[in-house]
Homo-oligomer: A and B are copies of this chain.
């Protein structure tokens, strides 16, 4: 949007300058040396280019944006989910077992289970699959 004014301005200026230059040179040099046909052709080319350029500028505010995952920090804070709990949650979402998670985080299975219990309470769910579902819908995890 902020580009629109600039684009229009540049386009207008270009047009004005061109008209001025053409008008200026027209009677003095070109008309007598170049045929009107060629002159018209040049004008056509130039303004086609300008049209293309302006069109591109005016429409290219449709930039393809691959939806970047934005973690819902607010939800995390609101639910008081701790850093460690989040780590566990992410690993659960990857389909890892409690044992595998524990090995990755260098803690005992008991610790992992404790984190999970707290997570279930905070997310108000009963099972890991539900936790993953809910966490994804809340954009707590990807």
A interface, CB within 8 angstroms of B: 15, 18-19, 22-23, 26, 31, 36-37, 40-41, 43-56, 59-60, 62, 64, 92-97, 125-134
Contact = CB atoms under 8 A, between A and B. Distances in A.
Given A49-B51, A96-B129, 20 more contacts: A26-B36, A40-B43, A45-B47, A48-B48, A48-B54, A50-B51, A52-B54, A55-B56, A59-B60, A94-B129, A94-B133, A95-B125, A95-B127, A95-B129, A95-B130, A95-B132, A95-B134, A97-B126, A97-B127, A132-B132
Nearest to A27: B36
Query: Which 10 pairs of residues, A with B, have the shortest CB-CB distance?
Result: A51-B51, A95-B130, A55-B55, A47-B47, A48-B51, A95-B129, A52-B55, A51-B52, A44-B47, A95-B133
